[in-house]
Chain A
Amino acid sequence: MPEVKARPEGCALVTGGSRGIGAAIAKSLARDGWPVVVNYRSDGEGAAGVVAAIEQEGGRAVSLAADVAGAAAADELFAGAESHFGVPVLALVNNAGISADNLFSMISDDEWQSVLDTNLTGAFRLTRRALKAMMRARFGRIVNISSVVGLRANPGQANYAAAKAGLIAMTKNVAVEVARRGITANAVAPGWIDTDMTAGLESGLSEAIPARRAGTPEEVAACVSFLASDGAGYVNGAVLTVDGGLAA
């Protein structure tokens, strides 16, 4: 029988975990038994609420502030996680993301760069940092929250789409480089999910979605929980769309 490694002791880090999809992921991973670091940039109150909700259910969590677009964020977050829980980060969910939508010709340098910095470069730096401990542990779960926009066009989101497509390519490369160390890297590509970020999107959009409704953050979180589980150890470099059939 091939050797299947069970999860050693470790914690999970969810970036952008104070609300929306990230908050649902943090709660879901906590239910799966992971001690969870809920990272946030500005919404400390939201993050504290997520931690309180997890603790109320008997889970363990801590909130840590950091802007993943910053060069020092990775070291700060990992040092904070390891010192708080006393175990390495063995599940990393790169969820933090921003959008700055504009028609292509109108995208400013800043709108381009800021979206790339947070959504792609931030994930790169955190993943690079995460691999140190994961390689030693011979176990790791990296889940990058991409988007269906990374798979097919959506007018007005070239910067966001480029970052999300970049995340998919990065995910696949990481997966093949470190698979032999028991580490998996997969992407989840949500479609239209009902969150603050999508509030105000035209309701007519649901006509284009085969499911005829928006998804919930919990439906995305369920995919992340699966990919972070021991049972998903042979799923690597995959893109799991959770979009009501939009990209099918």
Chain B
Amino acid sequence: MSAITTEQVESRVIETLASFGPDVSQITREATFEELDIDSLDLVELAQVVEDDYGVILKGEDMKELKTVGQAIDLIVSRAE
């Protein structure tokens, strides 16, 4: 598999989060999941998308630590390397 760029992950994460409700314009790296009204079940679904698309397995304990969109993107990119 070719290397995954941060930009690719960022766009996929934003697209997925937007499907849960928040407006794309609100979804910045600094935005917290709490502000975006993204709940734990949404993050489970995001983890599934990430696993299907990038083969990156995020466990429950990984997800608990995530507070912002940027943290999620960084974690996925680091795991994909």
Number of A-B contacts (CB under 8 A): 11
Name the interface residues of B18-59: CB closer than 8 Å to any CB of A: 41, 44-45, 48
A178 CA / B42 CA spacing, docked (Å): 10
Q: Are A180 and B41 in contact (CB under 8 A)?
A: yes
Chain B: interface size category: under 10
A104 to B51 alpha-carbon distance, docked (Å)? 44
Q: Which residues of A contact B48 (CB under 8 A)?
A: 132, 135-136
- Residues in A neighbouring B45, C-beta threshold 8 A: 135-136
Which chain A residue has the least Cβ–Cβ distance from B45? A135
Inter-chain contacts of B44 with A (CB < 8 A):
135
Q: How far is the CA of A154 from the CA of B68 in the complex (A)?
A: 52
Interface string of A101-144 (1 = CB under 8 A from B): 00000000000000000000000000000001001100000000
Instruction: Check A45 for interface membership: any CB of B closer than 8 A.
Output: no
Interface residue? A181 (CB, 8 A)? yes
Closest to B40 in A: A177
How far, in angstroms, from A181 to B48 measured CA to CA in the complex?
A: 15
Give chain B nearest CB distance to A154 CB in angstroms: 36
Assembled-state Cα–Cα distance A178/B48 (Å): 15
Q: Which chain A residues (191-248) contact chain B, with CB distance < 8 Å?
A: none
9 residue pairs of the A-B complex, CB under 8 angstroms, read: A132-B48, A135-B41, A135-B45, A135-B48, A136-B48, A177-B41, A178-B41, A180-B41, A181-B41
Q: Which 7 A-B residue pairs are closest in the complex by CB-CB distance?
A: A135-B45, A132-B48, A181-B41, A177-B41, A178-B41, A180-B41, A136-B45
Interface residues of A (CB under 8 A from B): 132, 135-136, 177-178, 180-181
